[in-house]
Amino acid sequence: MCGIAGYFGNPDARLPARTLLQRMLGELRHRGPDGEGAYVADGAGLAHTRLSIIDLSAGAQPMSNDDETVSITFNGEIFNYVELREELIARGHRFRTASDTEVIVRLYEEMGPDCVERLNGDFAFAIWDSRRRRLMLARDRMGVRPLFYAERDGALYFASEVKALLQVPGIEAELDPIALDQIFTFWFPLAPRTVFKGVAELPPAHVLIASPGHVSVRRYWALDFPDAADARRGERDEAGIAEEVRALLIDATRIRLRSDVPVGAYLSGGLDSSIVAAIAGRLAPERLRTFSVRFDSAEFDETEFQLEMAEALGTDHSAVLCRPADIGAAFPSVIRHAERPILRTAPAPLEILSGLVRDEGFKVVLTGEGADEVFGGYDIFKEAKLRRFCARQPESLRRPLLFRRLYPYLPKLQAQSAAYLKAFFATDLDAAGDPLFSHLPRFRSTAGAKLFFSGELKRSLADYDALDELRSALPENFTRWHPLSQAQYLETAYLLPGYILSSQGDRMAMANAVEGRFPFLDHRVVEMAARIPPALKLRGLTEKHILRKAAEGLVPPRMAARPKQPYRAPDSASFFGDTSPPYVERLLAGPAVAASGLFEPRAVEKLVAKGRNGSIGGFRDNAALTGILSTQLWREAFVPGARQIDPISIISRQKVA
């Protein structure tokens, strides 16, 4: 795991190529503190900062083949490299190293860009093919590893994080208002768009080929589901399917334990990480080390279940306590790493957690990420199912009462009357044909936070509609899928790479040079799970039914039966009170808000007042506060000149005058 950067074409002449690559690497060093290298050829440059995990002595990068016609800079892991290497050797390839990097080089020699189809792993890489004068960029299927690029003055630049691109002369951070509108709707911008105007993200499962005068981007893999009409096929073979799921998960975990450094695991207290840790505990040669986050508020904390699982598995367990003040203190760093405004603080505890992992001497952790998307664990799937159920008898006041069962962990919701439950959840019942049906309530309540957008921002957005853009991006087959498959697709193809794996995943782990590995996101697991009948994933209102079956015998029965508790962290409570960090006041003060021009200062003032007296409780207000504050932090961290206006000094000067 590492950071990569480089260019194709002739870079800006103001800076020698090597100096430019060094500067880009300087911004990525947190991702790979163990070594670095640069390779400059005629027409391309590659750079790499390394976190050594496989073949510690010989895996240095950038790496070239024997005659230097193919050179690579690679971030990530190819988990099936052992099998691929054997195959390649059998076909006559000779290897100089035992690294997975060299496997990609040899595979590329044989197959060219199609080599990605053989890779089982989490990767972002660039290959310079000097004979064809062609640069290839590639990203893994699920979007675990990041890759960004930008074109300036005829050259194409790429890097693991945008901050490295900002080292290129002529590339400056400027906020893209449409990306902000998307964040305030979906929680993330729709790839390839990023919040940095003119900087693109290579979407998951895509390759980019740049040759002189021509850049093309194409998809090499897509998540697909059976037609709704076929979705019941195999429904009766529950035991057989559960067995298949279990075998595949064991294999996905087994190849994710391949590493020349020890591999630990996260334990959230929930089913998914418990399954992964249980399998890893059986396969790992030594006692498994596990890590988790604790909260001081019972509303978020899962310590009891973490300890129970650690004891059942016999792991050597450590936890880090995240108080609201810790989240507030970490938040500016979170935004510098996430490189975008976010509407929730939930990434912050994960940055604190990766710090613990690093302090304990670990570089690699397994997690349960992806199980909720792939096996149907999220509440939104149940909510959509209930909304469809209500739609069949819109007058019923009994059916909406079922929504209480969906959110047992939200005390404020339990207090709602049937009429209000209906008003909140049984919405858009006439929109059953809308491809976004499952997500309309979430998108709408998130978009409520746009209330704070300034008139100027609204004018620049004109009549832009983020939902319409998402609708038009959906695959052709989408309308033929079962409603659960449709909702799963929206989570897996969008929220997962756009937010979970990036803002909450790679960036928070790599802030402390820790690599996450996700057995549930092995594409074999993802493809197999997509074929499982929906009724076996969401049985009645029991989520991840088939996974629970597969977990029998792996984890204690109480764990296999435990309902999902979503991972959340205190939002606005982290920014106010006795421990309120000084940046909150500074960035949310009227002049600072006015200077960014994005939000309405008077409205923000009222929201802050509400935060100060501790009465921000609702979803929209928490999202708005976190979103506004993180946008302000983002500007200050990246936009040239944004820091120059210091409202406090302006105010004090005015007072003096």
Residues taking part in catalysis: 2
Tell the smallest beta-carbon distance from residue 185 to other proteins (Å): 13
Beta bridge partners of 228: none
Toward other proteins, which CB reaches closer, 194 or 622? 622
Q: Is the Cα dihedral 581, 585, 586, 587 positive or negative? A: positive
The 8 Å CB, 24+ separation contacts for 417-426 are 422/390, 422/397, 425/383, 425/386, 425/387, 425/390, 425/400, 426/386, 426/387, 426/390, 426/391, 426/394, 426/399, 426/400
Toward other proteins, which CB reaches closer, 95 or 409? 409
CA–CA distance, 221 with 243 (Å, rounded to integer)? 26
Tell the smallest beta-carbon distance from residue 595 to other proteins (Å): 18
Give me 536's structure tokens.
Answer: 């076996």
Tell the smallest beta-carbon distance from residue 419 to other proteins (Å): 4
Instruction: Tell me 453's DSSP state.
Output: B
Tell the smallest beta-carbon distance from residue 426 to other proteins (Å): 12
Tell the smallest beta-carbon distance from residue 443 to other proteins (Å): 12
Q: Which of 544, 441, 542, 445 is nearest to 488 (CA)?
A: 544
Tell the smallest beta-carbon distance from residue 602 to other proteins (Å): 6
**Cis? peptide before 62, omega within 30° of 0:** yes
Toward other proteins, which CB reaches closer, 411 or 433? 411
Toward other proteins, which CB reaches closer, 586 or 610? 610
Toward other proteins, which CB reaches closer, 136 or 421? 421
Toward other proteins, which CB reaches closer, 215 or 603? 603
Helix (H) or strand (E) holding 413: helix 411-414
CA–CA distance, 177 with 450 (Å, rounded to integer)? 12
Q: Which of 228, 231, 319 is nearest to 269 (CA)?
A: 319
Question: Strands of 316-322's sheet, edge to edge?
Answer: 316-322, 289-295, 263-266, 364-366, 515-517
Tell the smallest beta-carbon distance from residue 620 to other proteins (Å): 5
Tell the smallest beta-carbon distance from residue 585 to other proteins (Å): 19
Toward other proteins, which CB reaches closer, 198 or 618? 618
Q: What are the φ/ψ torsions at residue 124 (nearest 5 degrees)?
A: -140, 120
Question: Strands of 2-8's sheet, edge to edge?
Answer: 35-41, 44-50, 2-8, 155-159, 148-152, 200-201
3-state secondary structure of 476: helix
3-state secondary structure of 320: strand
**CA gyration radius, the chain:** 25
Instruction: Tell me 448's DSSP state.
Output: G
Give me 421's structure tokens.
Answer: 């439950």
Toward other proteins, which CB reaches closer, 89 or 419? 419
List of residues contacting other proteins (CB under 8 A): 412-413, 415-417, 419-420, 423-424, 444-445, 447-448, 451-452, 455, 600, 602-603, 606-607, 610, 615, 617-620
Residues 262 and 556: beta-carbon distance below 8 Å: no
Instruction: Tell me 570's DSSP state.
Output: -
Q: How far is CA 536 from CA 15, 233, 387, 548, in A?
A: 58, 11, 19, 10
Tell the smallest beta-carbon distance from residue 431 to other proteins (Å): 14
Toward other proteins, which CB reaches closer, 162 or 628? 628
Give me 211's structure tokens.
Answer: 């040759």
